[in-house]
Chain A
Amino acid sequence: MTELKRTPLYEEHLGAKAKLIDFGGWEMPVQYAGVIDEHHAVRTKAGLFDVSHMGEIDVNGKEALAFLQMLITNDVSNLVDGRILYSPMCYPNGGIVDDLLVYRYGPEHYFIVVNASNSDKDYAWMVEQAKEFEVSVENLSEQYAQLALQGPLAEIILQRITNINLAQIRYYAFAHGEVDGVSCLISRTGYTGEDGFEIYVSPQFARQLWQKILEIGTPEGIQPIGLGARDTLRFEARLPLYGNELGPEISPLEAGLGIFVKLDKIAFIGKDALLTQKEQGIPRKLVGLEMIGRGIARSHYPLQKDGEEIGFVTSGSFSPTLNKNIALGLIRSDLAVQEAVLDVMIRGKAVQAKIVPSLFYKRG
């Protein structure tokens, strides 16, 4: 087994007695105080996440825009400086390489943030696709630590130690400035369904910022949050996870990401396949499920209707916010009808669930 990678905050996690796990080759905190407790902290107060394992890729050059337009499914041409775009990135067959964020630094310079477990694969894919463009693609993942401060009180806390006027950073926008005297990039983004910020900083200052934010957020009840609660938070807000809702065998149209697929763009990788899929009918659809019978649907459990397999669970869990057992499932489109009842096969036993709106949680 290869050695697990560690973020610059590893010692902080040890000190906080976090439970550590292998996440995509990274030794990461899965929980500190407990998943449910941490989940509620983010929904009601504020939580701080170490997401330094995320990948950062720099795209720079005369044809940067043309390259990105070909590379990803969303339309980068309307993106302006200081704003961010979410997009799937597809294979020619329409399957998903990854989902990512594009930060526009300037008309010829972009900063791409990709999933940790995919960053090497994504970088290789991007370099390959970049050959026909006048553009440089550089993997900067080692040069950044990333902290996510999420929750309704995130802005109040962060504003105390930054010279950026956070109220002026809109959702999916970013700015460069200082946090606790350290140069950072701050974006109003996140993966929890709450308001909040993601802070990109040089690894050498990561511990300073981590400690400082936890310290100044103490009056608000800030807590460090592990990957366990990160997953339940994102799942309730229907934010897809690569490896669950997204993957090389799943198209963004099936995953409910159609609004991020601009089929009217002249060309992009996967366009033909996705166009065909759209014209001929999208075979599967991602639906929300609520358990009727006793049990928790877990990812990859089969879904059946009248004894026939119709799909599978992509994510499933107890929902701390709803206090219910819920799931997301990818099923045959013709059977994706609200209120319809189907069976989740839990260790060979059929347990009933019904189809419900998949956006389980939306902040008020």
Chain B
Amino acid sequence: MNPVDLKYSKEHEYARVDGNIVTFGITDHAQESLGDVVFVELPDEGATVTAGKSYGTVESVKAVSDIIASVSGKVVEVNTQVMDSPDLLNSDPYGEGWLIKVEADDLTALDSMMSAGEYETFLAQEEH
């Protein structure tokens, strides 16, 4: 269910790496626990984000959730479609529901992230 080519964080976010461009998004588990996503706040193109720091928020009907950057770098693309249709985060978190693309300063922060298999183990442990 969670794509094997992505890296996952304990905050239930993913990073898709393509060269030095990293795409951020939230995991299927994250959208499931949030419920209907109704609002997404994202940085502007050209803004910088810092690994481990919040770069925006995702809000469901009932909850506000910070989204955390997995690498530091410059925002090169923003998915404006999710700002108009936040429900894409629910229906297609790994596809059309991606959030931003970042040109990474360096990729070492990704080393501490989990593989799909490790993330599934982490989810199973979190249930208890």
**Chain A interface residues toward B at CB < 8 A:** 19, 30-31, 34-37, 228, 231-232, 294-296, 298, 317-318, 320, 325, 347
Contact residues of A: prevailing secondary structure:
mixed
In the complex, A362→B39 CA distance in Å? 25
The B interface is mostly helix, strand or loop, or mixed, namely strand
Using Cβ atoms and an 8 Å threshold, which residues of chain A touch B124?
A: none
Which residues from B are CB-within-8-Å of A232?
Answer: 61
A31 to B62, CA, bound (A): 11
With a cutoff of 8 Å between Cβ atoms, the chain A residues found around residue B38 in the complex are 36, 296, 318, 325
Q: Could you tell me which residues of chain B, from 19 to 49, have a CB within 8 Å of some CB in chain A?
A: 35-36, 38-39, 41
Closest-by-CB residue of B relative to A227 is B62
16 contacts between A and B (CB under 8 A): A35-B35, A35-B60, A35-B61, A35-B62, A36-B38, A36-B61, A228-B62, A231-B62, A232-B61, A294-B83, A296-B38, A296-B59, A317-B61, A318-B38, A320-B61, A347-B57
B54 to chain A: closest residue by CB: A347
Interface residues of chain B, those whose CB is within 8 Å of chain A, are 35-36, 38-39, 41, 57, 59-62, 64, 83
A318 touches B39 (CB 8 A): yes
Bound complex: CA of A179 vs CA of B83, how far in Å?
A: 47
> Contact check: which of B35, B39, B83 meets A296 at CB < 8 Å?
B39
CA distance A255 to B32 in the complex (A): 35
* CB-CB nearest in chain A for B57: A347
Distance (whole angstroms) from the CB of A57 to the closest CB of chain B? 30
The smallest C-beta distance from B122 to any residue of chain A, in angstroms, reads 20
Question: Are B59 and A34 in contact, CB atoms less than 8 angstroms apart?
Answer: no
The 6 closest A-B pairs by CB, nearest first: A318-B38, A35-B61, A36-B36, A296-B39, A34-B36, A35-B36
Contacts of A228 in B (CB 8 A): 35, 61-62
Tell me, rounded to whole Å, the shortest Cβ–Cβ distance linking A6 to chain B: 20
- Across the interface, B41 reaches (CB within 8 A) one of A19, A295, A318, namely A295
Hey, which chain A residues are within 8 Å of B57, CB to CB? 347
A30 to B35: give the CA distance in the assembly, Å.
10
Contact (Cβ within 8 A) B35 A31: yes
Among residues of A, the one whose C-beta sits closest to the C-beta of B64 is A298
Q: How far is the CB of B41 from chain A (nearest CB, A)?
A: 7
Residue of A nearest to B90 (CB): A34
Most chain B CB inside 10 Å of its own CB: which residue of A35, A228, A318, A325: A318
Determine whether the beta carbon of B61 is less than 8 Å from that of A19.
Answer: no
Q: Which residue from chain B places its CB closest to the CB of A30 in the assembled complex?
A: B62
* B41 proximity list for chain A (CB < 8 A): 294-295
Q: Which residue of A lies closest to B38 (CB)?
A: A318
Give complex CA distance A33, B64 in Å. Answer: 20
Min Cβ gap B67→A in Å is 13
Q: Are B35 and A325 in contact (CB under 8 A)?
A: no
List the A side residues contacting B62 at CB < 8 Å: 30, 35, 228, 231, 317
